[in-house]
Amino acid sequence: MNGAGNDFIVIDNRFYNFSVPELSTLAPHVCSRRIGIGADGILALSLPEFSDADYRMIYINADGSEGTMCGNGARCLARFAYEGGIPKRSAWMQTASGTCEVCIPENGHIRIYLDIPEDYITSFDVETDLSEQFRSIHYVCPGTQHLVCFITNIHSFPVKNWGAILRKDPNLGSEGANVNFVEVDKTKRLIVRTYEKGVEDETLSCGTGAIASVYSARKCGEITKDRCVVEMQGGQLTVGLEAHRVVLEGPVTHVYRGSFEYLIPDRNIAY
């Protein structure tokens, strides 16, 4: 499945009951675009651990690290769960960063609702020496860590080079951050390109990156509206800022269904 180009291998883990370590072992093999299926990460639909959730999302990055929140992944899993026997158009999803509401309309884009980010730092200082294309850098955490860099000439900007450097800037600590490079056009639409940690590359879109970019743009005065279209390499996402929460909406697409075989070492069984 993919959400605006952000692609995932989606597993019904209610049947397999893979543990997080098992999924982490599996991810680098199946997410490889050269020798595997190819994806930005694995989504596992699992039984909830808490009574206030309808189901649980386990998200594993392509490199095997567990992700705390994935906006596009949550939207994809919401549709997968709805079509897989949890027929609630409004449901609650448990994630590693908390429980969030998801909405599957009869017609239209799938939405998720997250709390307003509490961790925001304007004019975030990095140790990296920057080029003059950088206008300002901000830090925000809408479920996972993000840098938001307002730049010029985004289409020719070397995202992979700068993303790999800034993603591990010492001032971010050991966890690092996803890095969003943002240009605001004349219509106040945001054009965003994101380098994601755990994928260690530019992805075609990033849901939490879109949220982080709009939130930062609103806080620092780059935009004045509370609802904004975000143009990413894989398509458009829309972010709305409400009083106590943020809404992310956009397309979700099934690419194909299939099966693969992989030996889980500790179980000595091929799935």
Reported as type and span, the H/E element at residue 215 is helix 207-219
Structural tokens at position 255: 């690419």
Share of the chain above pLDDT 70, in %: 97
- Region 5-18: mean pLDDT is 96
26 contacts 39 by C-beta, under 8 angstroms: no
Q: What is the pLDDT of residues 55-64, one digit of tens each?
A: 999 999 999 9
Judge whether 100 counts as a catalytic residue.
no
User: What amino acid occupies position 93?
Assistant: M
Q: List beta partners, residue 194.
A: 180, 203
Identify the pLDDT of residue 268: 53
- Region 23-44: mean pLDDT is 95
Judge whether 70 counts as a catalytic residue.
yes
Q: What is the pLDDT of residues 70-116, one digit of tens each?
A: 999 999 999 999 999 999 999 999 999 999 999 999 988 999 999 99
Identify the pLDDT of residue 249: 98
Identify the pLDDT of residue 69: 96
Q: What is the pLDDT of residues 201-243, one digit of tens each?
A: 999 999 999 999 999 999 999 999 999 999 999 999 999 999 8
Structural tokens at position 130: 């920057």
Structural tokens at position 151: 């730049």
Q: Of the listed 103, 149, 206, 228, which one is catalytic?
A: 206
Q: Mean pLDDT score of the chain, rounded to an integer?
A: 95
- Region 167-188: mean pLDDT is 95
Identify the pLDDT of residue 261: 81
Q: Of the listed 31, 70, 149, 228, which one is catalytic?
A: 70
Share of the chain above pLDDT 90, in %: 91
Task: Determine the 3-state secondary structure of 206 from DSSP.
Answer: coil
Angle between helices 71-83 and 207-219 (to 10 degrees): 130
- Region 8-15: mean pLDDT is 96
